[in-house]
Amino acid sequence: MTDHLSETEVSLFRERTIGPAERERIDSHVAECESCLRRILPSEDTALVYSELTEALLPDPSDEPFHLSNAEIRAFANGSIDRADRVISESHLDICDQCSKAVQVHTAGPPSWRAAFQFTPARAAAALSVVACLVLAFVVWQRWHSRVVDQTVQKNATQTPSGTSVSGSPTPAQAEAPKGPTSEQFALSLEDNGRKVQLDKSGKLTGLEELPEASSSLVRSVLTTKNLSRPEVLDQLSAPSITLLDPTAGENKFSLLGPSGTVIATDQPNFRWQALAGAESYTVSVFDGDFNRVTHSAPQTGTQWTSTKLQRGMIYSWEVVAVRNGQEVRSPVAPAPRAQFKVLEAEKLRELTRLKQHSPISHLTLGLTYARFGLIAEAEGQLQILARENPNSPVATKLLRTVQEWRNR
């Protein structure tokens, strides 16, 4: 596999909501791709995980010697053990003669058993004779059965009243037309930009076959649970309001309109704020996670400004300083929290671009992907279209309201 895993594949793999076939494919990929392995297991957790596994697995000198159980030995010998347990067992067999001999015994099997299944020319000839006899017996039975059926049909034909079929079978006019799929066979059905997306009662998703498996898995997971989880990144971008002892300290202020508390797709955000009565100019400043100012605007007379390019995958905060009557008025100020946003990672942007290239666009898939990445406004727009296409669907309505609640938190 030459391509790296997408962000959706990494996320679904961590949440264990991906299908067995896709999980096996990802297992094979990360076994050879150190880059994707680090994405699935973040580097900051590696040391802790290794330490915990070391403490848990290394025996104490006072402990009794460890040996493989009979069940583990049998599983290792017949090859039914999984990859992780095989690695552990092989490491133990390298240092334990007792378990190594037990595995050899199970692998070899009793001598009488091997002899019973040993290939010889005589046994091969006997097997061919048995097969030939079975084939001959089947042919004879088929011919006998055909004669019995023909005699029965002829007998019924002489006894059947006129106007009915000779064979007693219903006429074409009486035959019932084959039934196609009915709505009762599906647990959920949604209209999606000219296509019908359906989830049957066994969990099979149809209607999105042309999309990548990771995207289909995301849709299947959400429609099965009828629940859309709030992405963790939104919690990182929101902060509680600050309570002030002086209720008048927050007066004489103006508000920032956005971006705030969300992820944005562009790396050149457009900052917008409310006008302050009597203000002569506004200056926008953008800060990184360590509160270092990374860029700022010249004094603006309007109430919006487009930034220079910012680094993707980073979280930023911003503020506006208005000048009125020679004095500075800053926003945000307590009790309002900092205005924070995140610039979408390049890999996630490419995944969204690929989804948009499918025709017709799936508003359901695109809306759920926007939501998973934390782009609230874009997710709300796609799910609004889906809700209009499915006015009587409680699922479509619930998905839209869920994203709208994220915006209001």
Tell me, what's the pLDDT at 90? 73
* Omega before 259 within 30 of 0, i.e. cis: yes
236 found inside a domain: no
369 found inside a domain: yes
Same domain as 284, residue 257:
yes
Same domain as 396, residue 305:
no
For the four alpha carbons of 364, 370, 373 and 376, in that order, the dihedral sign comes to negative
Same domain as 74, residue 55:
yes
Task: Answer with the one of 312, 343, 374 that is the final residue of a domain.
Answer: 343
Mean pLDDT, residues 365-393: 95
Q: What domain range is 248 assigned to?
A: 241-343
Poorest-confidence range of 46-55, 123-132, 381-390, 398-407? Answer: 46-55
Instruction: State pLDDT tens for residues 230-264.
Output: 999 999 998 665 554 444 445 558 899 999 999 99
Per-residue pLDDT band for 318 (boundaries 50, 70, 90) equals very high
Task: Answer with the one of 112, 130, 150 that is the final residue of a domain.
Answer: 112
CATH number at residue 222: 1.25.40
178, amino acid identity? P
Classify 16 in phi/psi space as left (phi over 0), alpha (psi -120 to 50) or beta. left
Classify residue 201 as exposed, middle or buried by CB count within 10 Å of its CB (0-12, 13-18, 19+): exposed
Tell me, what's the pLDDT at 81? 74
35 found inside a domain: yes
Domain count, the chain: 3
Same domain as 403, residue 272:
no
- Contacts of residue 258, defined as CB under 8 A and 6 or more positions apart, other chains included, come to 271, 272, 341
Task: Answer with the one of 87, 112, 137 that is the final residue of a domain.
Answer: 112
Angstrom distances, CA of residue 53 to CA of 50, 82, 263: 5, 19, 36
Q: Which residues pair with 190 in a beta bridge?
A: 197
* Omega before 360 within 30 of 0, i.e. cis: yes
- pLDDT of 330 over the 80 cut: yes
213 found inside a domain: yes
Per-residue pLDDT band for 9 (boundaries 50, 70, 90) equals confident
- pLDDT of 165 over the 60 cut: no
Same domain as 105, residue 11:
yes
134 found inside a domain: no
With CA atoms as reference, report the closest residue to 9 among 23, 280, 82, 270. Answer: 23
Q: What is the pTM of this model?
A: 0.58
Instruction: State pLDDT tens for residues 86-106.
Output: 766 776 677 777 788 777 777
Q: What's the gap between Cα 236 and its chain centre?
A: 22
Same domain as 277, residue 219:
no
Same domain as 371, residue 329:
no
Instruction: State pLDDT tens for residues 273-309.
Output: 999 999 999 999 999 999 999 999 999 999 999 999 9
CA-CA distance, 267 to 310, in Å (whole number)? 5
CATH number at residue 270: 2.60.40.10
